[in-house]
Amino acid sequence: MAKIVVTGSYITDIAAITSRFPRDGETVIGETVKIGPGGKGSNQATACKRLGAEVVLITKTGNDYLRNVALNHYKNENMSDKYVFVDEENQTGVAIIQIHKSSAENRILVTPGANNHITEEDVYKAENDFKTCDIVLLQLEASMESVIASIKLAKKYNKPVVLNPAPVKELDDDIFKLIDYFTPNETEAEFYSGLKADSIQNIEKMADLFIAKGVGNVIITLGKAGAFVKTRDAACIIPAYTVNAVDTTGAGDAFNGGFCVALAEGKGIVEAARFANAVAALSVTKLGASESMPDRLDIDSFLKNIKRGVL
């Protein structure tokens, strides 16, 4: 069984559907509200688990009632909470999310809280799991200390590192050289490259620039256009699947989780990105972040139907 270590955020998401985003100073009446488990680290770990991998999640919450949302989620998902640390001084992370009813696009304001206080010591408590895993999956919604400690442990045991650089934070040049798979979305790729993602030529230039900085492979996710994959000797777009999107929150997380599971199971990078597109496509058909992650049976039947031309 594939084993994936995820170091990253747990956030409780408060999401409201609206037919129009409010302007500055304006109050708009929203529709449904959904409160549930989110956070890039936890969403990605949930995606991996639902796809059949063994997952070790290193994260941190406050000692407050929102911690229970996290713990209930891990219990329901049969995920270990061994490394779901408690911070006595900082609150559980919260995201305030607006979801546009017709486009399914979102606006997110995230306060990471306890996630900013995951320490190197916390990460080193899971050292044995780094030793025995297939892949280490990271984002930037938790402390840089935890990201750097996780990269150090991954390198110590010669494990590939997937970095989803979201949300954007300045990265030292040295870090790029330690990343095997760099998976920004278009906005993040613009931030790290200084280029505009307004043509396929520029997207490829961005990927070249990241490879020149030292990353092994680049996968730039392109929303409903799919994903651009660049390795040292290949470049291609893997188109997304056409689905009825209701909420794109966590699409990138579904993609990263699916990508890592596929890689850990031995698929090549292009095949892994295709599988990740399917995982992300199914995730956008449901409301919620962690709760919208598809399971392996859903994916297998989705891909079978695509092959048979049913979808």
Among residues 223, 235, 236, 270, which is the contact residue for ligand ATP, using CB under 6 A? Answer: 223
Q: Which of 164, 129, 154 is nearest to 58 (CA)?
A: 129
* Nearer to ligand ATP among residue 62 and residue 288 (C-beta): 288
Question: 3-state secondary structure string, 229-293?
Answer: EECCCCEEEECCCCCCCCCCCCHHHHHHHHHHHHHHCCCCHHHHHHHHHHHHHHHCCCCCCHHHC
Which of the listed partners (ligand ATP, ligand RIB, none) does 61 bind, with a CB threshold of 5 to 8 Å by partner kind? Answer: none
Among residues 90, 115, 146, 277, which is the contact residue for ligand ATP, using CB under 6 A? Answer: 277
Rounded to whole angstroms, the Cα distance separating 151 from 238 reads 28
Choosing from 253, 295, 298, 300, the catalytic residue is: 253
Rounded to whole angstroms, the Cα distance separating 227 from 86 reads 36
Only segment of 124-132, 210-218, 246-254, 255-263 that touches ligand RIB (CB under 6 A): 246-254
Please report, as residue ranges, which positions from 253 to 272 form the binding site for ligand ATP (by CB under 6 A): 253, 255
Among residues 57, 95, 142, 179, which is the contact residue for ligand RIB, using CB under 6 A? Answer: 95
Among residues 40, 49, 50, 73, which is the contact residue for ligand RIB, using CB under 6 A? Answer: 40
Q: Is 155 helix (H, G, I), strand (E, B) or coil?
A: helix
Q: Which residues contact 31 (CB under 8 A, 6 or more apart)?
A: 16, 17, 18, 19, 101
Rounded to whole angstroms, the Cα distance separating 206 from 218 reads 9
247 a catalytic residue: no
Among residues 4, 5, 7, 13, which is the contact residue for ligand RIB, using CB under 6 A? Answer: 13
Residue 31 and residue 18 in contact, taking contact as beta carbons nearer than 8 Å: yes
Residue 82 and residue 110 in contact, taking contact as beta carbons nearer than 8 Å: no
Q: How far is the CB of 33 from ligand RIB (least distance, A)?
A: 15
Residue 226 binds ligand RIB (CB under 6 A): no
* Nearer to ligand ATP among residue 70 and residue 281 (C-beta): 281
Only segment of 37-45, 126-134, 146-154, 212-220 that touches ligand RIB (CB under 6 A): 37-45
Strand order in the sheet with 106-111: 33-38, 11-18, 93-100, 106-111
Rounded to whole angstroms, the Cα distance separating 243 from 14 reads 24
Which of the listed partners (ligand RIB, ligand ATP, none) does 282 bind, with a CB threshold of 5 to 8 Å by partner kind? Answer: none
Please report, as residue ranges, which positions from 263 to 302 form the binding site for ligand RIB (by CB under 6 A): 289
Q: How far is the CB of 240 from ligand ATP (least distance, A)?
A: 4
Strand order in the sheet with 54-62: 84-87, 54-62, 3-7, 135-138, 161-163, 181-182, 217-221, 227-230, 235-238
Residue 253 binds ligand RIB (CB under 6 A): yes
| Interacting residues toward ligand RIB by CB under 6 A | 11, 13, 38-40, 43, 95, 108, 110, 141, 249-250, 252-253, 289
| Interacting residues toward ligand ATP by CB under 6 A | 166, 185, 221-224, 226-227, 240-241, 243, 245, 248-253, 255, 277, 280-281, 284
Give the residue numbers marked as catalytic.
253
